[in-house]
Amino acid sequence: MAAPESRVLDLLAARENRSQLRIVTCGSVDDGKSTLIGRLLYDTRAILEDQLQTLEKDSRVHGTDGDNIDFALLVDGLEAEREQGITIDVAYRFLSTPSRHFIIADTPGHEQYTRNMATGASTADVAIVLIDARRGVLTQTRRHSHIASLLGIPNIVLAVNKIDLVDYSEDRFREIVNDYETFASDLGFSNITAIPLSARHGDNVTEGSARTPWYTGAALLPHLESIGIDDTVDGEPFRFPVQMVHRPNLDFRGYAGTVASGSVSVGHEVVAARSGKSSKVVRIAGRAGDQPRADKGDAVTLLLADEIELSRGNVLAARTALPNVSDQFEATLVWFDDDASLMPGRPFILRMASEEVPATVTALKYAVDVNTFVHEATRSLSLNEIGVANISTRSPLAFDSYRDNRSTGSFILIDRMTNATVAAGMINHPLRRASNVHWQALDITKTARAEAKHQKPAVLWFTGLSGSGKSTIANALEKMLHASGRHTIILDGDNVRHGLNRDLGFTDEDRVENIRRVAEVAKLMTEAGLIVLVSFISPFAAERLLAREMMEEGEFVEIFVDTPLEACIARDPKGLYGKALAGELKNFTGIDSPFEAPQSPDIHLKTEGSDVDELAQSVEQWLRDHGVIH
């Protein structure tokens, strides 16, 4: 039977005006998160009949509660999750009550899935931290609370679950709440509300329970309905990251994007953060035609009075409160990658609001112990670790501190090879203002210096295993170039390690730094107009890419000296393979440290069966063909 039409329209109108609350549930595995969400969905009638039938069927097969409905199965959506009885990834669930829409992110409890928890927490207004009343506050409780605090979630609901299993004991409840409040006092939450409940039996979930007469506060759902969320935009500084320049025809040139904070109206003055140029908003093309004003969250197209230099990645802001503009800042990072750890010096792609730039973590200041919050000195961050680092970007960014603005103060780091999202970052503060960074303007240019030498500067980067023949070929080539009057220099791995890089060892971190320094030196030498021959094992693709990107387009020539490992071992000119195989030399490339062969080198030299001079000549020919020398 259908509801009468006018009533339908009333209900829809009411639905439109309900506020939205985003919740993340967290806590250790088995504390009952999935059960709690399942219970909330069931009690608010958000589960439909056919879903309930599937649930009953699944409960008998995979359930942990005999023939009773196992609510956890409602949210554990992946086959592996149902089989192993654990949550692996975030599930998003939707729930509406007459006063609010809720989006609930159910996140996994296992430490190895912390990144999935962070995914769910990044957009939440409230975190429900579950605790098993028998087990009390655990490491995961602390870890998740810490992440919730880092991500700026203001409200915590401490759900002391399985209260049925501790005989509805008030003392136990108080004890847990005390523990939690003591440890969370440094986390800066604006509100912590503790509720004793039983997800399985429904006590204090949607309604107060007679079995906890000592608890006089609100049950979970009414509490969630009443939490105040700050959604006022007045007084918030206006931020509009330009998503795209919209130019469908000659009469329309606008800047499309989503208002990240504050609001803007027709007639307002706005400033392009990176250039400082300002203009006036003359028109706001909205989702349903023109509109006089746009608030936070709205996707619109702004048309300005003047043609100012403005493209994707720039931020329009209010004149009275401008964002920072800098190419260096300090940030807190949560590391997500299980394949490799974070090492200073590695290049990444940094992505924020609407900007994407190459970036490097220049220094790792410290790691934070999630249990004790103690800062510890560290040289790398591994999976799920949190640390504070300095970051430098190829070009200046417009940003705020995360504390001030969750949208314009957050970013992710992306691996350059795999494109995996390897870290989440929250900006603490800028390290210097870009406007203070003036390059010394030089009168004699690089080109002028190179032309005087009748050549183009280049970096010939020989990469390959130890003993593959890099130095031999580089030497032969340099002789040829020198003989024909070219100006060259060789940077050899072994030699540089005796001087400039004397302080570096062979750990992964040190190898990265080794390459970074050599690349910087090579770059200076190109400024001098030289042809630089670099002969370095340089085993990691990411570092070779870093070096390539430091040079000008076309200047970097990757030469892969390709000799099979067995051949190098057989040659073993310096006796190093012998030592490494005997275990006397650690982290030796090819033996117990990887060599990432170039996928598409500019020049590929297969040394076996070839003559050194022929190989050197083939490189010289390549340089001729590509106009480096004439």
Partner 1 sequence: MLSHLDHLEAEAIHIIREVAVTCEKPVMLYSIGKDSTVLLHLARKAFAPGKIPFPLLHVDTTWKFKEMIEYRDRLADDPNVDLLVHVNEEARAQGIGPFTHGSSLHTHLYKTVGLRQALEQHGFNAAIGGARRDEEKSRAKERIFSFRNASQGWDPKNQRPEMWSIYNTRVNPKESVRVFPMSNWTELDVWHYILREKLELVSLYMAAERPVIEHDGMLMMADDEARLPEGAKPEMRMVRFRTLGCWPLTGAVESDAQSLEDIIGEMMVSRTSERQGRVIDKDEAGSMEKKKQEGYF
Ligand X SMILES: Nc1nc2c(ncn2[C@@H]2O[C@H](COP(=O)(O)OP(=O)(O)O)[C@@H](O)[C@H]2O)c(=O)[nH]1
65 binds, among partner 1, ligand X, none (CB under 5 to 8 A by kind): ligand X
Stretch that binds ligand X, among 142-150, 192-200, 311-319, 423-431 (CB under 6 A): 192-200
- In a 10 Å sphere around its CB, with 0-12 CB exposed, 13-18 middle and 19+ buried, how is residue 570 labelled? exposed
- The CB-of-334 to partner 1 minimum distance in angstroms stands at 9
Stretch that binds partner 1, among 253-261, 430-438, 442-450, 458-466 (CB under 8 A): 253-261
- The CB-of-214 to partner 1 minimum distance in angstroms stands at 37
525 binds, among partner 1, ligand X, none (CB under 5 to 8 A by kind): none
Which of these, 36, 3, 87, 416, lies nearest to 201 by C-alpha position?
36
30 binds, among partner 1, ligand X, none (CB under 5 to 8 A by kind): ligand X
Q: What percent helix, strand, coil does the chain show, rounded to 5?
A: 30, 30, 40
How far is it, in rounded angstroms, from Cα 215 to Cα 134? Answer: 18
Per CB under 8 A, the list member of 10, 65, 68, 78 interacting with partner 1 is: 78
Does the protein bind ligand X through residue 31 (CB under 6 A)? Answer: yes
Closer to ligand X by CB, 109 or 344: give it.
109
Q: Which amino acid belongs to residue 629?
A: I
Stretch that binds partner 1, among 70-78, 172-180, 391-399, 552-560 (CB under 8 A): 70-78
Closer to ligand X by CB, 119 or 455: give it.
119
How far is it, in rounded angstroms, from Cα 305 to Cα 280? Answer: 5
Instruction: Establish whether 380 is a catalytic residue.
Output: no
Binding residues for partner 1, how many (CB under 8 A)? Answer: 79
41, 92, 453, 598 from 89: Cα distances, Å: 19, 10, 60, 35
Per CB under 8 A, the list member of 33, 93, 470, 523 interacting with partner 1 is: 93
Does the protein bind partner 1 through residue 98 (CB under 8 A)? Answer: no
Per CB under 6 A, the list member of 21, 23, 35, 381 interacting with ligand X is: 35
Per the listing, tokens 């320049």 go with 245
Does the protein bind partner 1 through residue 11 (CB under 8 A)? Answer: yes
Helix and strand totals (H; E) in the chain: 17, 27
Q: Which of residues 355-394 bind partner 1 (CB under 8 A)?
A: 356
User: Where does 539-608 have alpha helices with state H?
Assistant: 541-550, 565-571, 576-581
Contact 522, 493 (CB under 8 A): no
Per CB under 8 A, the list member of 60, 287, 375, 454 interacting with partner 1 is: 287
Per CB under 8 A, the list member of 181, 186, 231, 584 interacting with partner 1 is: 231
Per CB under 6 A, the list member of 22, 24, 26, 34 interacting with ligand X is: 34
Per CB under 8 A, the list member of 67, 79, 443, 503 interacting with partner 1 is: 79
Does the protein bind ligand X through residue 457 (CB under 6 A)? Answer: no
Angle between helix 114-121 and helix 139-150 axes, rounded to 10 deg: 40
Per CB under 6 A, the list member of 20, 64, 84, 226 interacting with ligand X is: 64
- The CB-of-132 to ligand X minimum distance in angstroms stands at 8
Catalytic entry in 326, 538, 593, 600: 538
Query: Which H or E element spans position 454?
Result: none
Stretch that binds partner 1, among 5-13, 142-150, 185-193, 462-470 (CB under 8 A): 5-13
32 binds, among partner 1, ligand X, none (CB under 5 to 8 A by kind): ligand X
Does the protein bind ligand X through residue 32 (CB under 6 A)? Answer: yes
Per CB under 8 A, the list member of 43, 44, 56, 82 interacting with partner 1 is: 82
Does the protein bind partner 1 through residue 578 (CB under 8 A)? Answer: no
Does the protein bind ligand X through residue 199 (CB under 6 A)? Answer: yes
3-state SS track over 524-546: HHHHCCCEEEEECCCCCHHHHHH
Closer to partner 1 by CB, 121 or 370: give it.
121
Stretch that binds partner 1, among 49-57, 141-149, 443-451, 485-493 (CB under 8 A): 49-57
Closer to partner 1 by CB, 167 or 338: give it.
338
- The CB-of-208 to partner 1 minimum distance in angstroms stands at 27
Per CB under 6 A, the list member of 122, 145, 161, 393 interacting with ligand X is: 161
How far is it, in rounded angstroms, from Cα 445 to Cα 528? Answer: 9
135 binds, among partner 1, ligand X, none (CB under 5 to 8 A by kind): none
Using CB under 6 A as the criterion, what x/- string covers residues 87-116 for binding ligand X?
x---------------------x-------
The residue sitting closest to ligand X, measured at its beta carbon, is 32
User: Where does 380-466 have alpha helices with state H?
Assistant: 446-452
- In a 10 Å sphere around its CB, with 0-12 CB exposed, 13-18 middle and 19+ buried, how is residue 527 labelled? middle
Contact 227, 215 (CB under 8 A): no
308 binds, among ligand X, partner 1, none (CB under 5 to 8 A by kind): none
Stretch that binds ligand X, among 159-167, 332-340, 383-391, 507-515 (CB under 6 A): 159-167
Does the protein bind ligand X through residue 20 (CB under 6 A)? Answer: no
101, 105, 288, 329, 591 from 15: Cα distances, Å: 8, 21, 20, 43, 64
Contacts of 495 (CB under 8 A, 6+ apart): none
Closer to partner 1 by CB, 9 or 444: give it.
9
Does the protein bind ligand X through residue 41 (CB under 6 A)? Answer: no
How far is it, in rounded angstroms, from Cα 418 to Cα 327? Answer: 25
Per the listing, tokens 């349903």 go with 288
Contacts of 611 (CB under 8 A, 6+ apart): none
Per CB under 8 A, the list member of 44, 258, 617, 618 interacting with partner 1 is: 258
Contacts of 323 (CB under 8 A, 6+ apart): 237, 239, 273, 315, 317, 398, 399, 400, 408
Q: Which amino acid belongs to residue 163?
A: I
Which of these, 115, 101, 120, 41, lies nearest to 73 by C-alpha position?
41
Binding residues for ligand X, how many (CB under 6 A)? Answer: 19
- In a 10 Å sphere around its CB, with 0-12 CB exposed, 13-18 middle and 19+ buried, how is residue 374 labelled? exposed
Our measurement of the distance from residue 269's CA atom to the centroid of its chain's CA atoms, rounded to an integer in Å, reads 33
Q: Which of residues 398-417 bind partner 1 (CB under 8 A)?
A: 406-407, 410-412, 414
Q: For residue 148, is it left (φ>0), alpha (ψ between -120 and 50) or beta? A: alpha
Per CB under 8 A, the list member of 86, 166, 256, 305 interacting with partner 1 is: 256
The residues annotated as belonging to the active site are: 538
Residues that bind ligand X (CB under 6 A): 29-35, 64-65, 72, 87, 109, 161-162, 164-165, 198-200
